Amino acid sequence: MNKKLFAMLALVIVASMVLTACGGNPSTAAPAEPPSAETSAPAPTTAPAAPAPAQVEFTAPGYGGTLATVKERGVLICGVNSQVPGFGYVDAAGAFSGFDVDYCRALAAAIFGDPDKVEFRPVTASERFTALQSGEIDILSRNTTWTLQRDTELNGNFVHTTFYDGQGMMVPKDSGITDLAGLEGGTICVQTGTTTELNLADVFASEGIAYTPAVFDNADNTFAAYAEGRCDAVTTDKSGLVARRAVLPDPENHVILDVTMSKEPLGPMVRHGDDQWFDIAQWTVFAMITGEEFGITSANIDEMMGTATNPEVRRFLGLEGDLGLKLGLENNFAYNIIKLVGNYAEVYDRNLGPNTPTYIPRGYNSLYTDGGLLYAPPFR
Ligand SMILES: N[C@@H](CCC(=O)N[C@@H](CS)C(=O)NCC(=O)O)C(=O)O
């Protein structure tokens, strides 16, 4: 059964439970239990033994075996960017860094309790979906925008939005251009295989601005052409513009226009057909967000382990309940993510915070409690 069908069925079941609960006497309403053949048996006269840890049948339909493959291999293979500082970048020594790269490390920490059990596979915009579909990578974590076509014909499931972005436009400061209309008749550098290329066409057509696209196959070539003055402007996600401006020879001579051409919800993507893997990837994101919400950091988590009394925090840390087991992981998976990689804020600040060359104010990427869009479901 695919995930969406399963979700619909679950919704029907939950709705019927809710209706039953609402119609009944609230004081007798019990938490939902799995159906049991013994529900009508007389109540036992002795206290029941403590329930065994919940076992989840991971051979059921919807479990596509990715976790088993990754565990057997002993390393996660994560498709990443190598050309966008702050998000996915490889330095001269071959070391990967960035916000999307750290998500891969968090997933490795959740699975193996070791953030280094990950192999980074650089993929360009045009290569990324084939790499995921073919099984060359276990997950794509690379400034990828969630769209309907990618969700359907490209066989992908977007795990969750980890970075809310929008498309921008950068021009040389001395051009004096301040809005899109100022680019009338100009040449615009853009990368192929991206939503960027499509939005550029949509927005300029709807605003009636004539332009010539100069199309390149990766970020280095796109921005090299712009730096050489072969285009009047360059366009990509605003995050990408901030990132790539930082590595231009003269960052101070370039401005990002105060226009947002699209919505670009960026996040990791997995293949259709493996709900368990999807859940693991998604709850890794939720663990990072929840860590921030609870004020649990890599620095204070060990202390929290000894002092936490809030039941949800205790479940989050793996001190109570079996939440990790239900995913096919250890119960301390969220502990490992926070301890070994950090919560969302720590990862954000390390890569995009005020002390980095790729500083981007949190904006929409703040917790809902701070006026942003980050909101994780409960750990229960
Ligand atoms: N978010 C957009 C654009 C992502 C994108 O690929 N941006 C370019 C320009 S910054 C990039 O990352 N290029 C690096 C590469 O392909 O090597 C999408 O998903 O299509």
Average pLDDT over residues 104-121: 98
Q: Tokens 């609230």 identify what position?
A: 26
Query: Considering the chain, what is the average pLDDT of its residues?
Result: 88
Q: 246 C-alpha to center of ligand 1: Å?
A: 16
Task: Report CA(178)–ligand 1 centroid distance (Å).
Answer: 24
Which residue, by CA, sits nearest to atom 16 of ligand 1? 124
Task: Kindly state the helix (H) or strand (E) to which residue 191 belongs, with its residue range.
Answer: strand 186-191
Q: What is the distance in A from the centroid of ligand 1 to the CA of 297?
A: 30
Residue nearest to atom 3 of ligand 1 (CA): 194
Mean pLDDT of 168-187: 98
Q: Whose CA is nearest to atom 20 of ligand 1?
A: 194
For residue 18, what pLDDT band results from cuts at 50, 70 and 90?
A: very low
Does the pLDDT value for residue 320 go beyond 80? yes
Residue bearing the CA closest to ligand 1, atom 14:
219
* More confident of the two residues 52 and 26: 52
Report whether 334 contacts 287 (CB < 8 A): yes
Sequential DSSP letters for 293-346: HHT--TTTHHHHHHH--SHHHHHHHTSSS-HHHHHTS-TTHHHHHHHHT--HHH
Q: Which pairing describes strands 83-84 and 88-90: parallel, antiparallel, or unpaired?
A: antiparallel
Nearest-atom number in ligand 1 for the CA of 147 is: 19
Distance from Cα 166 to the centre of ligand 1, integer Å: 12
Residues in the chain: 380
| Residue for token pair 């947002």 | 260
Q: What does the pLDDT read at residue 168?
A: 98
Q: What is the dihedral of CA 261, 346, 312, 103, to 10 degrees?
A: 60
C-alpha closest to that of 91 among 77, 105, 101, 76: 101
Is residue 6 predicted with pLDDT exceeding 80?
no
Interatomic CA distance for residues 316 and 336, integer angstroms? 11
pLDDT of residue 219: 97
Backbone angles phi, psi at 353, to 5 degrees: -75, 175
15 compared with 183, residue with greater pLDDT: 183
Residues 135-142: what's their mean pLDDT? 97
Looking from the CA of residue 82, the nearest atom of ligand 1 is 17
Output 36 or 112, whichever has higher pLDDT: 112
Residues lining ligand 1, CB < 6 A? 81, 83-84, 124-125, 143-145, 191, 194-196, 218-219, 236-237, 240, 244, 264, 266
What does the DSSP 8-state code read for residue 94? S
Which of the listed residues 90, 120, 142, 143 should we mutate to test ligand 1's pocket, taking the one with most ligand atoms within 8 A of CB?
143
Looking at residue 21, its pLDDT comes to: 35
Ligand 1, residue 243: give the atom nearest the CA: 10
Compute the C-alpha angle 304/163/207, nearest 5°. 160
- 31/378 Cα distance (integer angstroms): 16
What does the pLDDT look like over 35-71, one tens digit per residue? 333 333 334 344 445 555 555 555 555 677 999 999 9
Q: Is the pLDDT of residue 368 over 80?
A: yes
At residue 21's C-alpha, the angle toward residues 18 and 23, to 5°, is 105
Q: What atom of ligand 1 comes closest to residue 239's alpha carbon? A: 10
Ordered by where they begin, the domains of the chain are 66-164+266-364 (3.40.190.10), 167-262 (3.40.190.10)
Q: Name the residue type at position 296.
A: I
Q: Which 3 state secondary structure label does DSSP give 227?
A: helix
